[in-house]
Amino acid sequence: MHSGKRALKSPASLAVPLTSLLAALALLLGIPATGAFAATSPAPDSVAGKTYTIGTDTTFAPFEFRENGELVGIDIDLMNAIAQDQGFAVEIRSLGFDAALQALQSNQVDGVIAGMSITEERQKVFDFSDPYFESGIQMAVAENNNDVAGYEDLEGKRVAVKTGTEGQAFAESIKDEYGFDVIAFAQSAQMYDDVKAGSSVAVFDDYPVLAYGIKSGNGLKTVTDKEVGSSYGFAVNAETNPELLEAFNAGLANLQESGEYDEILDRYLDAGAADSSFWSLVTDNAPAFAKGLGLTLLATALSLFFALILGVIFGFFKVSSKIVLRGIATTYVSIFRGTPVLVQAFFFYFGLPQLIGQPVDVLTAGVLTLSLNAGAYMTEIVRGGIQSVDPGQMEAARSLGLGYGKTMQKIIIPQAVKIMTPSFINQFVITLKDTSLLAVIGFAELTYQAQQVYAVNFRTAEVLIIVAALYFIVITLLTKLADVLDKRFNK
Highest mean pLDDT among 251-260, 311-320, 395-404, 408-417: 251-260
Residue 9, pLDDT score: 39
Q: Is the pLDDT of residue 5 over 60?
A: no
Give yes or no: residues 80 and 176 share one domain: no
Q: Which of 247, 269, 291 is the last residue of a domain?
A: 269
Mean pLDDT of the chain: 84
Q: In angstroms, rounded to a whole number, what is the distance separating the alpha carbons of residues 293 and 280? A: 19
Residue 7, pLDDT score: 38
Long-range contacts of 79-82 (CB under 8 A, 24+ apart): 79/54, 79/113, 79/234, 81/251, 81/255, 81/260, 81/264, 82/247, 82/248, 82/251, 82/252, 82/255
Tell me, yes or no, whether 319 lies in a domain.
yes
What letters, b where the CB count within 10 A reaches 16 and e where it falls short, cover 42-77? ebbeebeeeebbbbbbbbbbbbbbbeebebbbbbbb
Domain at 60, CATH number = 3.40.190.10
Give yes or no: residues 363 and 408 share one domain: yes
Query: 461 pLDDT band (50/70/90 cuts)?
Result: confident
Give yes or no: residues 155 and 92 share one domain: no
Give yes or no: residues 332 and 454 share one domain: yes
Give yes or no: residues 334 and 360 share one domain: yes
Give yes or no: residues 365 and 460 share one domain: yes
Give yes or no: residues 466 and 418 share one domain: yes
Q: What is the mean pLDDT of residues 283-311?
A: 91
Q: What is the mean pLDDT of residues 20-35?
A: 39
Q: Mind listing the pLDDT tens digit for each residue in 123-142?
A: 999 999 999 998 889 999 99
Tell me, yes or no, whether 18 lies in a domain.
no
30 or 397, higher pLDDT: 397
Task: Indicate yes or no: pTM above 0.75.
Answer: no
Tell me, yes or no, whether 16 lies in a domain.
no
Q: Is the pLDDT of residue 24 over 70?
A: no
Q: Is the pLDDT of residue 10 over 70?
A: no
One-letter identity of residue 442: G
Q: What is the mean pLDDT of residues 470-480?
A: 90
Q: Tally Cβ neighbours within 10 Å of residue 80.
A: 17
331 or 491, higher pLDDT: 331
Coil/strand/helix, residue 94:
strand
Q: Is the pLDDT of residue 194 over 80?
A: yes
Give yes or no: residues 146 and 125 share one domain: no
Residue 1, pLDDT score: 34
Tell me, yes or no, whether 14 lies in a domain.
no
Q: Are 437 and 341 in contact (CB under 8 A)?
A: yes
Q: What is the mean pLDDT of residues 330-334?
A: 95
Q: Is the pLDDT of residue 215 over 90?
A: no
How long is the chain?
491
How many structural domains compose the chain?
3
82 or 67, higher pLDDT: 82
Query: 147 pLDDT band (50/70/90 cuts)?
Result: very high
Domain at 444, CATH number = 1.10.3720.10
Residue 326, pLDDT score: 93
Give yes or no: residues 311 and 368 share one domain: yes
Tell me, yes or no, whether 1 lies in a domain.
no
Q: In angstroms, rounded to a whole number, what is the distance separating the alpha carbons of residues 427 and 437? A: 16
Q: Mind listing the pLDDT tens digit for each residue in 104-120?
A: 998 889 999 998 989 88
Q: Are 108 and 353 in contact (CB under 8 A)?
A: yes
Tell me, yes or no, whether 140 lies in a domain.
yes
Q: Is the pLDDT of residue 458 over 60?
A: yes
Q: What is the mean pLDDT of residues 426-430?
A: 90
Give yes or no: residues 113 and 259 share one domain: yes
Query: 35 pLDDT band (50/70/90 cuts)?
Result: very low
Give yes or no: residues 121 and 139 share one domain: no
What letters, b where the CB count within 10 A reaches 16 and e where it falls short, cover 170-197? bbeebeeebebebebbbbbbbbbbbbbe
Tell me, yes or no, whether 199 lies in a domain.
yes
Q: Mind listing the pLDDT tens digit for each residue in 372-407?
A: 999 999 999 999 888 888 777 777 777 777 777 777
Query: 19 pLDDT band (50/70/90 cuts)?
Result: very low
Least confident range of 105-119, 343-357, 443-457: 443-457
Is omega for the bond preceding 62 within 30 degrees of 0, making it cis?
A: yes
Q: In angstroms, rounded to a whole number, what is the distance separating the alpha carbons of residues 213 and 215? A: 5
Residue 237, pLDDT score: 94
Q: Is the pLDDT of residue 144 over 80?
A: yes
Give yes or no: residues 384 and 472 share one domain: yes
The residue range of the domain holding 57 is: 40-132+233-269
DSSP state of 409: I
Residue 139, pLDDT score: 95
Tell me, yes or no, whether 156 lies in a domain.
yes
Q: Is the pLDDT of residue 250 over 90?
A: yes
Q: In angstroms, rounded to a whole number, what is the distance separating the alpha carbons of residues 461 and 372? A: 33
Residue 417, pLDDT score: 82
